[in-house]
């Protein structure tokens, strides 16, 4: 695969992120405007009138560019609405970056929003394509689909299900510990491990509600310019090192060679992104990773797919605290989908927002010691049938 990348050619010079949560008082319009206004307020050198084009990510909160142009009052400018399941916000960012790198525009905004709490249902609601009623997605819920990973992983690596359950509990515990330190997170309380474990199995497989990401409303955005122009707008731009989106043939659910202990899409995506960024030892080189912890077993598998852990050993690394805030490689220092919440279209940009804060030294209690490289990751779909996104961003060029 020829993937030339746009290493260090564009930079983020401003960001905004609403609190994530149950925003009964805010519409998607309000959330978009709040995130954008926050971003412009923090970037005085770049006003709304200066933005040449927009990329809007939303999975289910509206269609077409007018979902953004209307609430922001955008005067006849390009707005592209992007949808790529849970990688929606990230893919909006990716396409915005490419437009600047291509020279088509000088200043663009990527913005993502999701309003999930207006549906009246718990969890994500799919918009169904008319079908023949035979797809398992018609009935099997998302937590159930991801819970398939747990027994398959234990079986393949001979992991004691009790140990696996403890590792899953640690993921939820860790991400809540981190989220409790985050003023924008949906859930700002630490949750004791025994409470997490007590709910196990009540949702799907061995997953309990504490193994599932928060269902929330929120919006986040980023202003992107050419790297060489970036210091006009901020002293601390964030440089884009790598962007990768991978869609697989969605063959896992119909191909017996797929064993439900990996996401092939993520492996390919990481390989691509690491090549673009020149990363050879991800666990050593990456300072923080914001990954798609939609359900606790997902995060464990991702650690292996991204090369942070050896195959069959992510559960041990997780339990050893490798991915804790004070561990060797902090994973989801902002609380992750689990604790920060998961308004689909906004999540990818929320992950970049944590890198933005960390590189600028503004992450408060979560602040890491001079982080240099951050990785963000989304997974859209289900095991065996998904899209994967990875970005690598850095505090410095080169």
Partner 1 sequence: MPTGILSYSAYIPRYRLAHEELGSALGMGGGAGSRAIASYDEDTTTMGVEAARRALGNGARPAALYFATTAPAYFDKTNAAAIHAALDLGSEGFALDIAGSARGAVGALRAAAASGGLAILSDLRTGKPGSSDERDGGDAAAAFLFGPGERVIAEVLGEASATAEFLDRWRRPGEMASGQWEERFGLEAYLPLIRDASSRALAAAGIEQADHVIVSSPHSRAARTAARELVGRVAEEAPAIGYAGAADPGIRLASVLDRAGADQSILLVVAADGCDATVLRTTEAITSHRAEKPVAEQASGGREVRYATYLTWRGLLDRELPRRPEPARPAGPPSARSESWKFAFVGTKCDDCGQVHVPPRRVCVGCGATDHMSRAALAGRAGRVATYTVDRLAYSLSPPMIDAVVDFEGGGRYTLEVADAGPEDVDIGTALELTFRRLYTAGGVHNYFWKARPV
* Residues at the site binding partner 1, with contacts judged by CB under 8 A: 119-123, 125-126, 128, 130-134, 136, 138-141, 143-145, 147-149, 151-152, 155, 201-205, 249, 251, 253-256, 258-260
Question: Are the CB atoms for 347 and 26 separated by under 8 Å?
Answer: no
Nearer to partner 1, 82 or 197 (CB): 197
Question: Are the CB atoms for 320 and 328 separated by under 8 Å?
Answer: no
Question: Are the CB atoms for 374 and 249 separated by under 8 Å?
Answer: no
Nearer to partner 1, 208 or 237 (CB): 208
Whole-number Cα distances in Å, 386 to 13, 18, 86, 362, 376: 31, 27, 9, 34, 17
Q: How far is the CB of 225 from partner 1 (least distance, A)?
A: 41
Q: Is 327 exposed, middle or buried (0-12, 13-18, 19+ CB in 10 A)?
A: middle
Residues 298, 178: Cα–Cα separation, whole Å: 18
Please report where in the chains the tokens 């088509």 appear, as a residue.
Answer: 104
Nearer to partner 1, 68 or 387 (CB): 387
Q: How far is the CB of 191 from partner 1 (least distance, A)?
A: 20
Nearer to partner 1, 127 or 281 (CB): 127
Q: Is 285 helix (H, G, I), strand (E, B) or coil?
A: helix
Q: At what angle do helices 149-157 and 296-305 cross, to 10 degrees?
A: 50
Nearer to partner 1, 210 or 357 (CB): 210
- Sheet order of strands, 238-247 included: 79-82, 53-57, 107-114, 218-226, 10-17, 238-247, 385-394, 373-382, 288-290
Q: How far is the CB of 199 from partner 1 (least distance, A)?
A: 11
DSSP per residue, 135-170: -GGGTS-HHHHHHTHHHHHHHHHT--HHHHHHHHHH
Nearer to partner 1, 139 or 281 (CB): 139
Question: Are the CB atoms for 48 and 75 separated by under 8 Å?
Answer: no
Q: How far is the CB of 135 from partner 1 (least distance, A)?
A: 9
Q: How far is the CB of 274 from partner 1 (least distance, A)?
A: 26
Nearer to partner 1, 145 or 269 (CB): 145
Nearer to partner 1, 125 or 320 (CB): 125
Can you name the residues that pair with 219 across neighbouring β-strands? 113
Q: At what angle do helices 161-179 and 149-157 cross, to 10 degrees?
A: 130
149: tokens are 């990973």
273: tokens are 């992104």
Nearer to partner 1, 305 or 334 (CB): 305
The size of the chain, in residues, is: 398
Q: How far is the CB of 131 from partner 1 (least distance, A)?
A: 5
Can you name the residues that pair with 225 across neighbouring β-strands? 11, 107
Q: How far is the CB of 91 from partner 1 (least distance, A)?
A: 24
Nearer to partner 1, 22 or 229 (CB): 22
Q: How far is the CB of 262 from partner 1 (least distance, A)?
A: 13
Can you name the residues that pair with 375 across neighbouring β-strands? 289, 392
Q: How far is the CB of 224 from partner 1 (least distance, A)?
A: 36
Q: How far is the CB of 268 from partner 1 (least distance, A)?
A: 16
């Amino acid at each position: 695969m020829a993937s030339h990348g746009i290493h260090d050619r564009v930079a983020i010079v401003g960001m905004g992120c609403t609190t994530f949560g149950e925003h009964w008082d805010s519409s998607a319009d309000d959330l978009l405007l709040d995130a954008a206004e926050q971003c412009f307020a923090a970037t005085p050198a770049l006003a709304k009138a200066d933005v040449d084009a927009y990329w809007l990510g939303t999975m289910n909160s509206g269609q077409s560019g007018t979902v953004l142009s209307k609430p922001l009052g955008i005067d006849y400018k390009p707005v592209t609405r992007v949808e790529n399941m849970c990688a929606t916000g990230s893919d909006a960012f990716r396409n915005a970056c490419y437009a600047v790198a291509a020279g088509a525009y000088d200043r663009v905004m990527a913005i993502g929003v999701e309003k999930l709490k207006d549906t009246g249902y718990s969890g994500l609601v799919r918009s169904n394509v008319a079908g023949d009623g035979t797809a398992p997605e018609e009935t099997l819920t998302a937590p159930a689909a991801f819970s398939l990973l747990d027994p398959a992983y234990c079986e393949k690596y001979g992991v004691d299900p009790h140990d696996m359950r403890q590792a899953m509990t640690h993921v939820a515990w860790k991400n809540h510990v981190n989220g409790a330190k985050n003023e924008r997170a949906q859930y700002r309380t630490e949750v004791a491990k025994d409470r997490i474990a007590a709910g196990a199995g009540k949702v799907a497989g061995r997953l309990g509600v504490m193994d599932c990401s928060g269902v929330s409303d929120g919006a986040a955005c980023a202003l992107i310019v050419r790297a060489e122009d970036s210091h006009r707008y901020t002293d601390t731009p964030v440089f884009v090192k790598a962007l990768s989106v991978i869609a697989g043939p969605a063959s896992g659910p119909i191909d017996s060679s797929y064993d439900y202990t990996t996401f092939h899409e993520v492996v390919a995506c990481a390989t691509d992104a690491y090549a673009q960024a020149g990363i050879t030892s991800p666990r050593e080189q990456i300072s923080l990773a914001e990954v798609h912890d939609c359900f606790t077993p997902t995060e464990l598998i991702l650690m292996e797919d991204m090369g942070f852990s050896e195959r069959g050993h992510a559960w041990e690394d997780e339990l050893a605290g490798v991915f804790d805030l004070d561990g060797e490689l902090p994973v989801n220092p902002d609380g992750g989908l689990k604790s920060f919440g998961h308004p689909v279209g906004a999540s990818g940009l929320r992950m970049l927002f944590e890198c933005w804060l960390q590189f600028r030294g503004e992450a408060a209690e979560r602040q890491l010691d001079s982080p240099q490289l951050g990785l963000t990751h989304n997974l859209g779909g289900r095991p065996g049938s998904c899209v994967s996104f990875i970005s690598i961003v850095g505090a410095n060029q080169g």
